[in-house]
């Protein structure tokens, strides 16, 4: 009996240590990033274009480029993703077409980001002739984000009790009236949470935009969707591998800003979700 | 009490994925009366109720044979739009299901989807419906608060008010009191009595005392068949069929 | 008349959403056909076997060679290495969180894991390059720490959140009755976990592992930054390697559209797409099996 107990203590104890060992160093490294990057975050760094082959100046065009790409991604992925989820949850029965849609979504979710990059380049940059541009990058990132948005929106719609749908239909509402006036408003916070999480992921992607939208250096801010842009993730890649003589703290500064943008999006999503939970408890 | 059949089913059969849930049911619903449907769980009384406003259409795999008449028109005819039908035949569900909106918006939901936009008109409909559902005095000061803050009994009356707001002719109630406490149940039964003068009501209930208290006619269902139909008093004092007697005296079910 | 019109309107809306949903099929088809269209040239010019099994990749030399084997091996080594680290660790962490951790620890750990999952891969690559690699270099006394080992370690950290959260879901889905039955027979919690809970969650844990591997093999930026990118077949885990993804990312900028090098990179895309497609298929099969099992027990 003693032996059994000892074995149990040792087993679970080892797992606790493992969890600690896996999580703490990673958090420490991120802490180090914040510590190293913090001094670089000056007003000039955030609002000026880079100078002298990216070794001096700021990252303003990269920040703007990433924000522009993010807005574009939302415009591509949100209508398609939410529309698909509405179809799957509210309209689709069981037939071959719907099965195919599900298989396609599962497989799209597994396609590596660099393959999306290849596709974006072949399709949007070359075949459709958009060139290396904001539009091509946003379309590529939008498609990459689509599966995440579909699956979270689908979950959100499934979580709406059927009671609401029945009540609305029994009052003589049509299906679409029911979806638009009852189901969507109830599901909206959860849909937004998922969408923001998905878009946050897209904002940090590098491989899909490096052949479709991003350039190492341009002092110009984009003024049309056909312009090429700087983007933070690609900028970070470039200054930490390809561009010589970039000071350590500028690279850490760029990494910290990227992390902050992505983190801020996640934070917004979490806040929406928490408020939703509290509301439900009340 | 007049003798006109507001609704009527003729030789109604309903199949659900190969299983026959209703067998040859012919059943009258008289205008401006309360008709109760009783029977053990799974006997088909709720399914039958849902054929009366085509809510079974929502479930995949159901198939119907026979006729369901509303004012002598078959509601399963190809020209009949279930959406229009459900405006005429409203439904109250087992669990109170107010939408997560304000009390006002819950009541105004039906009129709005049917095209009423005028504010004064909506205000009037909301007040009238809540009064008719005996809820106005309890909620008139918090019309714009969430309907989810109401008690279970209040929610169920709110749901009835919501049905009244689309001005139906028939109201179907599927065990409307099963989630309510005795006081709320009594209030609901009073309400059903009052509504009878203007509406035709069909109520499914588990509770035979309730059937006896609120209804004028009662139908007894067993295994998908309508076993007996008669005036409620007769049914509970002198049932004609042995199975009915067994059920109402509590020998099974 | 009004009825008819509104019916057409409703039908129209249904078809509209059907059309939107259909874009997913169209997109998958487009990705598939575009990769093949652009990559086909290399398969016919170099030959499928020479492309996949060739050991020399010299795309810009006088007589170019397009043998992808070093990269295929590089991808496999790095992915398996990451899997060997991330799968046991991830499942172990999931067991700790699902079975023993106090509620507060569990909540905090879940938030941290979600946070880690949200960090962009280029940031992982940057940290691997500037923080982790120097430490590994000193610790193991290597000439350079940009090796398959470092890449596997970084990938393992990146795959961990996926493995942990899906494993945890799988453990949560094991019915409480099983645990209680085992405990009531006098088994300790540890014995119950090892002998009852883990086997019951087996297919969910397998799916978690597959998804973790899928995540690792498709990962690009971090690997590009820390794996060393040498175009050789590695002899040990401490050699630098170059993966399929890294080659595409690193070389695409230098190619001419339609040229053989360009086609070769799309050919690599086809190989990668095929590998992930197969991994997805397996995962999907496992998932359908688990969900049918779940349905069976809940009825």
CB contact under 8 A, C6 and B81: yes
Q: Which of B105, B154, B148, B138 is nearest to A168 (CA)?
A: B105
The confidence band for B80, taking pLDDT boundaries of 50, 70 and 90, is confident
Query: What is d(CA A134, CA A116) in angstroms, rounded to the nearest whole number?
Result: 15
Is residue A92 within 8 angstroms of chain C, CB to CB?
Answer: yes
- In degrees rounded to 5, what are phi and psi of residue B15? -115, 140
Give me the pLDDT at residue B92, please. Answer: 94
B84: chain C residues, CB-CB within 8 Å: 3
CB contact under 8 Å between C30 and A83, yes or no, is: no
A282 has pLDDT over 80: no
Residue B16 — left, alpha, or beta (φ > 0 → left; ψ -120 to 50 → alpha)? Answer: beta
What is the rounded average pLDDT for all residues in chain A? Answer: 89
Look at residue B115 and tell me if it is in a domain.
Answer: no
Beta bridge partners of B36: B203, B218
Residues of C in Cβ contact (< 8 Å) with B83: 3, 6
Asked if C247 and C25 count as a contact pair (C-beta separation under 8 A), the reply is: no
Report CB contact under 8 Å: C269, A101: no
8 Å CB contact between A128 and A143:
no
Interface-testing mutation among B57, B75, B78, B81, with chain C (most C C-beta atoms within 10 A): B81
Q: Are strands B73-74 and B62-70 parallel, antiparallel or unpaired?
A: antiparallel
pLDDT at residue A52, as a whole number: 75
Which residues on A lie below 8 Å from B87 (Cβ)?
Answer: 171-172
pLDDT band at A53 (very low <50, low <70, confident <90, very high): confident
Q: Which residue of C has its CA nearest to B78?
A: C4
Nearest-CA residue of chain A relative to B61?
A: A93
Closest-CA distance, A19 to chain B, in angstroms, reads: 41
* Band of residue A101 on the pLDDT scale cut at 50, 70, 90: very high
Answer whether A31 touches C (CB < 8 Å). no
CA C176 to chain B, closest CA, distance in angstroms equals 29
Cβ-Cβ pairs closer than 8 A, A with B, add up to 67
CATH of residue B36's domain is 3.40.50.300
Tens-digit pLDDT profile for residues A106-127: 889 989 999 999 999 999 999 9
Please state, for a pLDDT cut of 90, what percent of chain A lies above it: 58
**Is residue A277 over pLDDT 80?**
no
Question: Could you give the number of structural domains in chain B?
Answer: 1
- As for the ipTM of the complex, it is 0.90
Q: Which residues of B touch C5 (CB under 8 A)?
A: none
CA dist A129 and B62 (Å) reads 52
Asked if the Cβ–Cβ distance from A170 to B93 is below 8 Å, we say: yes
A197 found inside a domain: yes
Q: What is the pLDDT of residues C197-220, one digit of tens each?
A: 999 999 899 989 998 999 899 999
- Our CA-based measurement puts residue C235 at a distance from the nearest CA of chain A, in whole angstroms, of 25
The chain A residue lying nearest B58, using CA atoms, is A166
Domain that holds residue B229: 5-97+169-248
Interface touch C276/A112, C-beta < 8 Å:
yes
User: Is the pLDDT reported for residue B29 higher than 90?
Assistant: yes
CA nearest neighbour of A175 among C149, C188, C12, B48:
C12
- Determine, for residues A170 and B163 on separate chains, whether the beta-carbon distance falls below 8 Å: yes
pLDDT at residue A1, rounded to an integer: 55
* Closest by Cβ to C266, choosing from A118, A205, A266: A118
* Residue carrying structure tokens 């930490």: A240
Cβ <8 Å between B166 and A171: yes
Binary contact (B53, A170; C-beta < 8 A): yes
A87 with C18: Cβ contact below 8 A: yes
| CATH T-level assignment (fold) for domain C58-298 | MetI-like fold (1.10.3720)
- Report the DSSP beta bridge partners of residue B27: B9
Q: Which residues of A touch C214 (CB under 8 A)?
A: 110
Number of domains in chain A: 1
Which residue from A minimizes the CA distance to C247?
A114
Q: Which two tokens stand for residue B146?
A: 């969430």
Identify which of A163, A164, A172 has the shortest CB distance to residue B83.
Answer: A172
Judged against a pLDDT cut of 90, whether residue B41 lies above it is answered with no
Of the candidate ranges A120-129, A230-239, A269-278, C263-272, the one whose mean pLDDT is the lowest:
A269-278
Please judge whether A177 and B159 are an interchain contact, meaning their C-beta atoms are less than 8 angstroms apart: no
For residue B10, the model assigns a pLDDT of: 94
CA–CA distance, A277 with A280 (Å, rounded to integer):
5
Closest Cα of chain B to C7: distance in Å?
Answer: 8
Nearest CA in chain A to B55: A170
Q: Does the reported pTM lie above 0.95? A: no
The beta-carbon neighbor of B97 closest among A163, A181, A185 is A163
Pick the residue from chain C with its C-alpha nearest to B84: C3
> Would you state the pLDDT for residue B252?
58
Minimum Cα–Cα distance from B54: chain A residue:
A170
| Predicted pLDDT at C3 | 55
The dihedral formed by the CA atoms of C168, C169, C172 and C173, expressed in degrees to the nearest 10:
-140
Backbone angles phi, psi at B241, to 5 degrees: -105, 140
User: Of the ranges A18-27, A45-54, A86-95, C235-244, which one carries the lowest mean pLDDT score?
Assistant: A45-54
The CA radius of gyration of chain B, in Å to the nearest whole number, is 18
Closest alpha carbon within chain C to A103: C25
Give residue C289's pLDDT. 65
Q: Per residue in C164-173, pLDDT tens? A: 999 999 999 9
Within a domain: A31: no
* Residue of B49, B50, B54, B58 to mutate, testing the A interface (most A Cβ within 10 Å of its Cβ): B58
On whether the CB atoms of residues A194 and A155 are closer than 8 A, the answer is: yes
The chains found to touch C (3+ Cβ pairs under 8 angstroms) are: A, B
Instruction: Work out the minimum CA distance from B75 to partner chain C, whole angstroms.
Output: 14
CATH of the domain at A108: 1.10.3720.10
* Residue extents of the structural domains in chain C: 58-298
Find the mean pLDDT for residues B68-92.
Answer: 90
Q: Across the interface, which of A166, A173, A185 has its CB nearest the CB of B113?
A: A173
Residue B212 has a pLDDT of 92
Quote the pLDDT of residue C1: 37
* DSSP secondary structure letter of residue B175: S
Q: Do residue C28 and residue A104 have CB atoms under 8 angstroms apart?
A: yes
- Average model confidence (pLDDT) for chain B? 91
**What is the C-alpha to C-alpha distance for residues A147 and C114, in angstroms, rounded to an integer?**
18
Nearest C-alpha neighbor of A197 from the set A277, A34, A77: A77
CB contact under 8 A, A171 and B159: no
Gap from C4 CA to chain B (nearest CA, Å)? 8
Substitution target in C27, C107, C125, C156 with the highest count of A β-carbons within 10 Å is: C27
**B neighbours by CB contacts (3+ pairs under 8 Å):** A, C
Q: Which of A112, A139, A261 to mutate to test the interface with C (most CBs of C within 10 A)?
A: A112
Where would I find the beta strands (DSSP E) of A31-92?
50-51, 56-57
Residues of chain C under the 50 pLDDT cut = 1-2, 292-299
Q: Is A79 on the interface with C (CB under 8 A)?
A: yes
The contacts found for B118-122 with CB under 8 angstroms, 24 or more apart, are: none
Q: Across the interface, do C214 and A110 touch by the CB < 8 Å criterion?
A: yes
Query: What number is the average pLDDT over the span A240-252?
Result: 83
| Best of A18, A104, A115, A237 to mutate (most C CBs within 10 Å, chain C) | A115
Q: Is residue B176 part of a domain?
A: yes
Mean pLDDT estimate for chain C: 88
Report the range of poorest mean pLDDT among A251-255, B209-213, C108-112: C108-112
Cα–Cα nearest to C129, from C146, C116, C141, C149: C146
Q: What is the pLDDT at residue C26?
A: 96
pLDDT for the residue C54: 87
Residue A259 forms part of a structural domain = yes
> Chain A: residue nearest C95 by CA?
A15
DSSP states of B73-108 as a string? EETTSTT--HHHHHHHEEEE-SS----SSBHHHHHH
Nearest to A169 among B55, B95, B98 (CB): B55
CB B136 within 8 A of CB B166: no
- Closest CB to A170: pick one of B91, B95, B101: B91
* Nearest-CA distance B173 → chain C (Å): 26
Does some domain include residue B152?
no
Is residue B121 domain-resident? no
Does residue A51 lie in a domain region?
Answer: no
């Amino acid at each position: 009996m003693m032996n059994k107990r000892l074995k149990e203590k040792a087993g679970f104890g080892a797992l606790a240590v493992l969890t600690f060992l896996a999580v703490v160093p990673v958090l420490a490294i991120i802490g180090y990033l914040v510590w190293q990057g913090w001094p670089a975050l000056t007003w000039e760094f955030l609002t000026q274009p880079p100078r002298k082959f990216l070794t001096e100046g700021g990252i303003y065009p990269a920040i703007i480029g990433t924000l522009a790409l993010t807005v574009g991604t939302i415009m591509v992925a949100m209508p398609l993703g939410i529309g698909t989820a509405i179809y799957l949850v509210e309209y689709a029965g069981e037939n071959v077409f719907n099965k195919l849609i599900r298989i396609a979504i599962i497989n799209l979710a597994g396609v590596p980001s660099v393959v999306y990059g290849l596709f974006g380049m072949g399709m949007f940059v070359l075949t459709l002739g958009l060139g290396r541009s904001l539009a091509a990058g946003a379309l590529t990132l939008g498609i990459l984000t689509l599966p995440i948005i579909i699956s979270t929106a689908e979950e959100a719609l499934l979580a709406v009790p059927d009671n609401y749908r029945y009540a609305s239909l029994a009052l003589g509402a049509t299906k679409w009236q029911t979806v638009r006036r009852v189901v969507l408003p109830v599901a909206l916070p959860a849909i937004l949470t998922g969408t923001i999480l998905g878009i946050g992921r897209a904002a940090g992607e590098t491989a899909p935009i490096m052949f479709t939208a991003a350039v190492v250096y341009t002092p110009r801010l984009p003024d049309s969707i056909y312009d090429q842009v700087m983007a933070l993730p690609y900028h970070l890649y470039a200054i930490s591998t390809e561009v010589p003589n970039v000071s350590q703290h500028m690279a850490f500064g760029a990494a910290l800003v990227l992390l902050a943008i992505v983190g801020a999006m996640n934070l917004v999503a979490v806040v929406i979700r928490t408020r939703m939970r509290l509301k439900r408890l009340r | 009490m007049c003798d006109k059949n507001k609704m009527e089913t003729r030789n109604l059969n309903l199949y659900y994925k190969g299983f026959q849930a209703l067998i040859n049911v012919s059943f009258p619903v008289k205008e401006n009366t309360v008709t109760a449907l009783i029977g053990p769980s799974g006997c088909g009384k709720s399914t039958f109720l849902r054929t009366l406003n085509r809510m079974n259409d929502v479930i995949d795999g159901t198939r119907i044979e026979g006729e369901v008449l509303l004012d002598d028109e078959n509601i399963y005819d190809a020209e009949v739009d279930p959406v229009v039908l459900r405006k005429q035949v409203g439904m109250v569900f087992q669990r109170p299901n107010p939408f997560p909106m304000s009390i006002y918006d819950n009541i105004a939901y039906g009129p709005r989807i049917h095209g009423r936009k005028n504010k004064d008109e909506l205000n009037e409909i909301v007040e009238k419906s809540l009064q008719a559902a005996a809820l106005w005095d309890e909620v008139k000061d918090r019309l714009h608060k969430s309907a989810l803050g109401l008690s279970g009994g209040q929610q169920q009356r709110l749901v009835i008010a919501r049905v009244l707001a689309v001005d139906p002719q028939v109201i179907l109630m599927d065990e409307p009191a099963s989630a309510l406490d005795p006081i709320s149940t009594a209030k609901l039964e009073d309400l059903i009595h009052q509504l009878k003068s203007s509406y035709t009501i069909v109520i499914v209930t588990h509770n035979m005392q309730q059937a006896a208290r609120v209804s004028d006619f009662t139908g007894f269902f067993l295994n998908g068949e309508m076993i007996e139909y008669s005036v409620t008093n007769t049914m509970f004092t002198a049932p004609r069929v042995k199975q009915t007697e067994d059920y109402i005296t509590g020998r099974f079910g | 008349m009004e009825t008819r019109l509104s019916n057409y309107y409703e039908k129209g809306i249904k078809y509209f959403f059907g059309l939107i949903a259909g874009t997913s099929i169209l997109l998958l088809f487009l990705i598939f056909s575009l990769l093949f269209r652009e990559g086909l040239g290399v398969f016919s010019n170099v030959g499928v076997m020479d492309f996949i099994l060739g050991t020399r990749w010299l795309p810009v030399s006088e007589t170019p060679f397009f043998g992808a084997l070093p990269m295929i091996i590089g991808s496999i080594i790095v992915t398996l290495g990451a899997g060997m680290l991330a799968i046991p660790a991830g499942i172990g962490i999931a067991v700790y969180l699902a079975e023993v951790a106090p509620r507060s620890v569990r909540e905090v750990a879940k938030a941290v894991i979600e946070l880690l999952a949200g960090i962009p891969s280029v940031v992982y690559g940057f940290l691997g390059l500037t923080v982790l690699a120097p430490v590994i270099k000193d610790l193991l006394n290597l000439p350079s720490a940009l090796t398959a080992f470092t890449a596997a370690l970084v990938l393992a950290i990146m795959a961990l959140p996926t493995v942990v959260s899906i494993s945890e879901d799988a453990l949560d889905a094991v019915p409480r009755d099983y645990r209680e039955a085992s405990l009531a027979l006098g088994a300790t919690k540890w014995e119950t976990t090892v002998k009852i809970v883990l086997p019951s969650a087996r297919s969910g844990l397998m799916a978690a592992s597959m998804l973790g591997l899928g995540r690792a093999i498709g990962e690009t930026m971090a690997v590009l930054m820390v794996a060393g990118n040498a175009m050789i077949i590695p002899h040990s885990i401490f050699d630098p390697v170059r993966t399929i993804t890294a080659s595409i990312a690193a070389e695409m900028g230098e190619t001419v559209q339609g040229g053989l090098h360009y086609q070769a990179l799309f050919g690599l895309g086809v190989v990668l797409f095929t590998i992930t497609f197969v991994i997805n298929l397996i995962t999907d099969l496992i998932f359908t099996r688990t969900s049918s099992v779940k349905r069976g027990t809940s009825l």
